[in-house]
A and B are shown apart, each in its own frame.
Chain A
Amino acid sequence: RKEVEQDPGPFNVPEGATVAFNCTYSNSASQSFFWYRQDCRKEPKLLMSVYSSGNEDGRFTAQLNRASQYISLLIRDSKLSDSATYLCVAGMDSSYKLIFGSGTRLLVRP
Chain B
Amino acid sequence: DAGVTQSPTHLIKTRGQQVTLRCSPKSGHDTVSWYQQALGQGPQFIFQYYEEEERQRGNFPDRFSGHQFPNYSSELNVNALLLGDSALYLCASRNRDRGNSPLHFGNGTRLTVT
The answer to whether A44 and B102 touch across the interface, beta carbons within 8 angstroms, is no
The answer to whether A46 and B107 touch across the interface, beta carbons within 8 angstroms, is no
Q: A43-B90, A44-B90, A96-B48 are in contact. Are A91 and B100 (CB under 8 A)?
A: yes
The answer to whether B105 and A44 touch across the interface, beta carbons within 8 angstroms, is yes
Interface size class on chain A is 20 to 34
Number of B positions contacting A (CB below 8 A): 26
Residues of B within 8 A of A (CB): 31, 33, 35, 40-45, 48, 55-56, 58, 88, 90, 94, 96, 100, 102-108, 110
Q: Which one of A31, A32, A43, A101 contacts B107 once the chains associate, using CB atoms below 8 Å?
A: A43
Residues of A within 8 A of B (CB): 4, 31-32, 34, 41-46, 49, 87, 91, 95-103
> Can you list 21 A-B pairs, Cβ within 8 angstroms, ordered by A?
A4-B42, A41-B88, A42-B107, A43-B107, A44-B43, A44-B90, A46-B102, A46-B103, A49-B100, A95-B55, A95-B56, A96-B33, A97-B33, A97-B45, A97-B48, A97-B56, A99-B45, A100-B35, A100-B42, A102-B42, A103-B42
The answer to whether B44 and A100 touch across the interface, beta carbons within 8 angstroms, is yes
Q: A95-B55, A95-B56 are in contact. Are A102 and B40 (CB under 8 A)?
A: yes
The answer to whether B41 and A102 touch across the interface, beta carbons within 8 angstroms, is yes
The answer to whether B105 and A45 touch across the interface, beta carbons within 8 angstroms, is yes
Contacts of A87 in B (CB 8 A): 42-43
Q: How far is the CA of A102 from the CA of B103 in the complex (A)?
A: 17
Q: How far is the CA of A98 from the CA of B94 in the complex (A)?
A: 12
- Nearest B residue (CB) for A91: B100
Contacts of B56 in A (CB 8 A): 95, 97
The answer to whether B58 and A43 touch across the interface, beta carbons within 8 angstroms, is no
The answer to whether B102 and A49 touch across the interface, beta carbons within 8 angstroms, is yes
Instruction: Give the distance to chain B from A81, nearest Cβ to Cβ, in Å.
Output: 19
- Nearest B residue (CB) for A105: B40
Q: How far is the CA of A103 from the CA of B105 in the complex (A)?
A: 16
Supplied contacts A87-B42, A96-B103, A102-B40, 6 more A-B pairs, CB within 8 Å:
A43-B90, A96-B48, A97-B33, A97-B45, A98-B33, A98-B103
Contacts of B90 in A (CB 8 A): 43-44
